[in-house]
Amino acid sequence: MSTMTVKVRVWRQPSPDKEGRLVDYTVGNVVADMSFVEMLDVLNEQLVAAGEDTVAFDSDCREGICGSCGCVVNGVPHGPGTGKTACQLFMRAFTDGDTLVVEPFRAKAFPVLKDLCVDRGAFDRMIAAGGYISANTGAAPDGNQLLIGKEIAEKAFDAAACIGCGACVAACKNASAVLFVSAKVGQLSYLPQGQPERYRRVVRMVDQMQKEGFGACSNEGECEAVCPKEISTLHIQIMQRDYLRSVLRGA
């Protein structure tokens, strides 16, 4: 198998309060079947051999579902191509001699912890602010008592597919989290189970989003274009409508 050599300009930042900068490395023996994060593994093995601190990056399942990995590769969150995470970006997308600029997801609400690791705790706090259905364990009726049409179930699934990686925030020029919030709001507001808390939920989640310091939506749709699950921005309008409705009602 032929190998290639790539130049990697990667963001190095030792800690949240220290300055960061792009540092150049050369990574050889890269093969087409390698994923982008495996290429970073190779880089890190080089750094270990040289006795230097490795590039810190989050990565877990390496099959595009956990949402751990994520960085901006050549100006696009998760790198070139659609519908995939950085761990599903394969080096066959690049050619020998290419330069890869690798930066962390940048947003005020996603402070950099180290190198490419960012703190996405804001996402958890937004879910905690109502991104759930209050259903205590043990109190549920039979699953078939609630009839949910196939189309509704599918629509809810489309929204529920969100993996919470944060690429939407990273791509948005305003570092807005509306796609993330609307995916959860959408999922639960399409389903009958979600109706009782529908308006309370949207107001609390949106308010939390604002508190976290995310920006507003400019309706450009960059988020959808980089979303590994290709979640539609149509959910955003549902969320906005529900939010406006509840605020105007004085909820």
> Per-residue DSSP letters for 4-54?
EEEEEEEEE-SSTTS--EEEEEEEEEE-TTSBHHHHHHHHHHHHHHTTPPP
**Contact mark string toward other proteins, 77..116, x via CB under 8 A:** x----x-x---x-x-x--------x-x--xxxx---xxx-
Two structure tokens written together for 236: 């955003």
Q: What's the CA angle centered on 40, arms 34 and 43, to 5 degrees?
A: 110
Size of the site for other proteins (CB under 8 A): 133
Q: Rounded CA gap, 30 and 148, in Å?
A: 49
d(CA 75, CA 61): 24
Among 5, 7, 15, 196, binds other proteins (CB under 8 A): 15
Selected binder of other proteins within 5, 96, 146, 196 (CB under 8 A) = 146
Distance CA 167, CA 179 (A): 10
What is the x/- site pattern for other proteins, positions 165-204, by CB under 8 A?
------x-xxxx----------xx--x-xx----------
State the minimum distance, in angstroms, from the CB of residue 98 to other proteins. 13
Minimum CB–partner distance for residue 7 and other proteins (Å): 13
How far is the C-alpha of 201 from the C-alpha of 137, rounded, in Å? 20
Min dist CB 96 to other proteins, Å, is: 16
| Residue 112 C-beta: closest distance to other proteins, Å | 8
Query: Is residue 123 involved in binding other proteins (CB under 8 A)?
Result: yes
With CA atoms as reference, report the closest residue to 79 among 165, 186, 157, 180: 165
Which residue type, as a one-letter code, is found at position 50? A
Contact pick of 12, 74, 98, 199 for other proteins (by CB under 8 A)? 74
Q: Which of 12, 65, 198, 199 binds other proteins (CB under 8 A)?
A: 65
- Yes or no: say if 202 and 241 are a contact pair by the CB < 8 Å rule: no
Decide the pairing of beta strands 76-77 and 72-73: antiparallel
Which member of 12, 47, 198, 199 binds other proteins (CB under 8 A)?
47
Among 7, 23, 26, 153, which residue sits at the site for other proteins (rule: CB under 8 A)?
153
Closest CB 94 distance from other proteins, rounded Å: 13
